[in-house]
């Protein structure tokens, strides 16, 4: 009986215990749910913030950014893209890009988006819209897990101004090249006219000394003209190879002076030094005068011989130019500074005042002019 | 006896006169001077020079390259260009006329003379 009496109570206790356990479990579930919801809210908040930041970044880009589905339907666009056609982003979604930008009913030829859908690779194209603007279009595929291109990102940049500036620069460069070409042509023609005037004058002159003076003047014009020629053909308009220049100049002088080629031989040993046109021009005049001097006086009575021209860099940074010959030598008591001939006086003046260098005679037996001039410190205006 | 007959086509009178005097002095027979491309073709056809010295920039509607191309192809007369132009583009255009020489102004008369002599020599030998 006692057992019968206790049964409901026991049952009650068990039931109460079970309900309390369920209650605890439920409370735990509710607490977990609340925690999950809180985490979800925080996550959604973070996502919204991130999304809004990305949207702001993409909208701040002035280029047109589009995400296109197959069939050229616009899935997403940034404000730059909407601005370029005076539309709102919401009005663009679902429309076809070729309709919005090109007023066409079918895709454009060579469309990079279509190419990317086919190849699954990036593409590039320059296109002109009906309003005359030029666009640079770049595309990138968006692929699913199987590697199928599901959409294409298109970046369009308006390069109308850039193209215009580029064309203007090209035109300007062409104009400058033509101008330079014409200037070069004019200069050469004018130098030819001056040389021809002297040459014509010499046809009516019989005095050998006067003829010689006219001849020397023509040689000087040629030596200056050669600098101009070298400068025009030089890649760097501020530098000319002294070796190239002196080789051409000296060979031209030797050929011009000799009635019998090969009697007087030229030996050149010139370091390949790029120098300013001013220095090269002055060196040219100096070498021209000294070679002419040797050709005129060093080998009388059809003597054979050699003229040597060397240019080297000295240890102190100076350049050393030597012009010598193995002819009959200077006359007794020769002083090139006191000679009446213009040529050698001109040489001394050019070396000392224009090259800011020194000139002297060599000590060895053969007549030799030694000229030293600074590599640096030359007035380059 | 003259060493060959030469036609000068040059629109700078002083340069042309100087060349004429020098070549005459060196014993060449000279055609009358011309300063246009059309004149060069016309005189070359009439006077049949051995060599034509041709400037590229000439008066008239035809430049020296055009005139040289016709003189060379139609009359078979060798042409030597004498020009103030020494840019690659002009020289390449001139090359198409198959010239016997190209001299840049101011002219090296001695080299020009030896080229003229060599062109006339080759022409005589091949005749």
**Per-residue pLDDT tens over the stretch A89-106:** 899 999 999 998 888 889
Looking at the predicted structure, is the pLDDT value of residue A200 above 60?
Answer: yes
Strand arrangement of the beta sheet that strand B79-83 belongs to: B29-30, B5-9, B51-54, B79-83, B101-104
Q: Which residues in chain B have their CB less than 8 angstroms from residue A249's CB?
A: none
State how beta strands A240-241 and A134-143 pair. unpaired
Q: Give the pLDDT band of residue A380 (cuts 50, 70, 90).
A: very low
User: Both tokens of residue A298?
Assistant: 């060093």
Of A258, A245, A232, A231, which is closest to residue A286 (Cα–Cα)?
A: A245
Among A177, A185, A219, the strongest candidate for a mutation testing the B interface, having the largest count of B CBs within 10 A, is: A185
Domain at B77, CATH number: 3.40.50.2300
How far CA A36 is from CA of A23, A26, A40, A44, A47, in Å, comes to 20, 15, 6, 12, 16
pTM to 2 decimal places: 0.64
Interatomic CA distance for residues A209 and A206, integer angstroms: 9
User: Both tokens of residue B123?
Assistant: 């022409």
Q: Which residues in chain B have their CB less than 8 angstroms from residue A192's CB?
A: 12, 15, 84, 105-107
How far away is chain A from the Cα of B111, in angstroms, using its nearest Cα?
Answer: 8
pLDDT at A317: 80
pLDDT in tens, B65-111: 999 999 999 999 999 999 999 888 899 999 999 999 999 998 988 88
| Residues in Cβ contact with A128 at an 8 Å cutoff, skipping those fewer than 6 apart | A134, A135
Q: What is chain B's alpha carbon radius of gyration, rounded to the nearest angstrom?
A: 13
Q: At what angle do helices B109-126 and A242-257 cross, to 10 degrees?
A: 70
Looking at the predicted structure, is the pLDDT value of residue A33 above 60?
Answer: yes
pLDDT in tens, A43-89: 999 999 999 999 899 989 989 999 999 999 999 999 999 998 898 98
pLDDT in tens, A172-187: 999 998 888 888 888 8
User: Both tokens of residue B6?
Assistant: 């030469």
Is residue A126 left, alpha or beta, with left meaning phi > 0 and alpha meaning psi from -120 to 50? beta
Yes or no, beta carbons of A185 and B57 under 8 Å apart:
yes
Collect all residues from B whose CB is shorter than 8 A from any CB in A. Answer: 12, 14-15, 17-19, 21-22, 25, 57, 83-87, 89-90, 104-111
Beta strands, E only, B1-127: 5-9, 29-30, 51-54, 79-83, 101-104
Buried residues in A75-110 as b, exposed as e (16+ CB within 10 A): bbbbbbbbebeeeebeebeeebbbebbbeeeebbee
Considering CB atoms only, which of B14, B83, B85 is closest to A200? B14
Q: Is A197 on the interface with B (CB under 8 A)?
A: yes
Q: Which residues in chain B have their CB less than 8 angstroms from residue A197's CB?
A: 14, 18
Q: What range defines the domain where residue B105 resides? A: 5-126
pLDDT at A2: 54
User: Both tokens of residue A254?
Assistant: 């030797």
Most confident of A177-186, A197-206, A221-230, B33-42: B33-42
How far away is chain B from the Cα of A309, in angstroms, using its nearest Cα?
Answer: 22
Yes or no, beta carbons of B84 and A222 under 8 Å apart:
no
Q: What are phi and psi of A220, to 5 degrees?
A: -65, -40
Q: Give the pLDDT band of residue A365 (cuts 50, 70, 90).
A: low
pLDDT in tens, B23-63: 999 999 999 889 999 999 999 999 999 999 999 999 888 99
Q: Considering its fold, how many domains does chain B have in total?
A: 1
pLDDT at B2: 56
Q: For chain A, what is the mean pLDDT?
A: 88
Yes or no, beta carbons of A188 and B108 under 8 Å apart:
no
**ipTM of this model?**
0.82
| Residues in Cβ contact with A95 at an 8 Å cutoff, skipping those fewer than 6 apart | A73, A74
């Amino acid at each position: 009986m006692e057992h019968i009496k206790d049964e409901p109570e026991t049952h009650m206790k068990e039931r109460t215990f079970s309900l309390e356990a369920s209650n605890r479990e439920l409370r735990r579930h509710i607490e977990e749910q609340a925690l999950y919801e809180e985490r979800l809210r925080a996550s959604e908040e973070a996502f919204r913030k991130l999304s809004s930041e990305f949207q702001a970044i993409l909208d701040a880009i002035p280029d047109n950014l589009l995400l296109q589905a197959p069939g050229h339907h616009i899935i997403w666009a940034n404000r730059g893209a909407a601005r370029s056609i005076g539309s709102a982003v919401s009005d663009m979604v679902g429309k076809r890009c070729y309709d919005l930008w090109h007023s066409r009913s079918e895709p454009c030829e060579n469309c990079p988006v279509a190419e990317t859908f086919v190849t699954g690779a990036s593409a590039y194209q320059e296109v002109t819209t009906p309003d005359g603007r030029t666009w640079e279009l770049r595309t990138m595929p968006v692929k699913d897990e199987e590697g199928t291109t599901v959409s294409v990102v298109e970046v369009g940049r308006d390069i109308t101004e850039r193209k215009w500036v580029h064309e203007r620069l090209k035109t300007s460069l062409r104009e400058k090249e033509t101008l330079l070409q014409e200037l070069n042509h004019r200069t050469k023609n004018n130098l030819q006219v001056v040389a021809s005037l002297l040459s014509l004058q010499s046809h009516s002159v019989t005095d050998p000394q006067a003829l010689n003076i006219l001849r020397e003047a023509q040689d000087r014009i040629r030596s200056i003209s050669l600098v101009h020629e070298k400068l025009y053909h030089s890649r760097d308009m501020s530098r000319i190879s002294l070796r190239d220049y002196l080789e051409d100049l000296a060979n031209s002088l030797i050929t011009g002076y000799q009635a019998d080629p090969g009697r007087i031989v030229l030996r050149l040993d010139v370091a390949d030094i790029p120098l300013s046109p001013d220095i090269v021009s002055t060196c040219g005049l100096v070498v021209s005068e000294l070679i002419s001097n040797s050709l005129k006086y060093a080998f009388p009575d059809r003597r054979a011989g050699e003229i040597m021209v060397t240019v080297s860099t000295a240890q102190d940074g100076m350049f050393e130019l030597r012009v010598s010959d193995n002819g009959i030598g200077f006359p007794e008591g020769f002083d090139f500074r006191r000679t009446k001939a213009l040529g050698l006086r001109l040489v001394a003046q050019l070396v000392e005042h224009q090259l800011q260098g020194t000139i002297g005679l060599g000590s060895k037996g053969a007549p030799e002019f030694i000229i030293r001039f600074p590599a640096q410190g030359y007035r380059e205006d | 006896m003259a060493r060959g007959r030469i036609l000068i086509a040059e629109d700078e009178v002083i340069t042309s006169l100087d060349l004429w005097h020098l070549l005459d002095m060196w014993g060449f027979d000279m055609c009358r001077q011309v300063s246009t491309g059309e004149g060069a073709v016309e005189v070359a056809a009439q006077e049949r020079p051995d060599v034509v010295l041709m400037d590229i920039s000439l008066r008239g509607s035809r430049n020296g390259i055009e005139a040289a191309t016709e003189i060379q192809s139609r009359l078979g007369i060798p042409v030597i260009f004498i020009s103030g132009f020494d840019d690659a583009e002009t020289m390449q255009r001139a090359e198409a006329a198959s010239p016997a020489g190209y001299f840049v102004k101011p002219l090296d008369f001695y080299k020009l003379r030896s080229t003229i002599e060599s062109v006339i020599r080759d022409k005589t030998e091949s005749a």
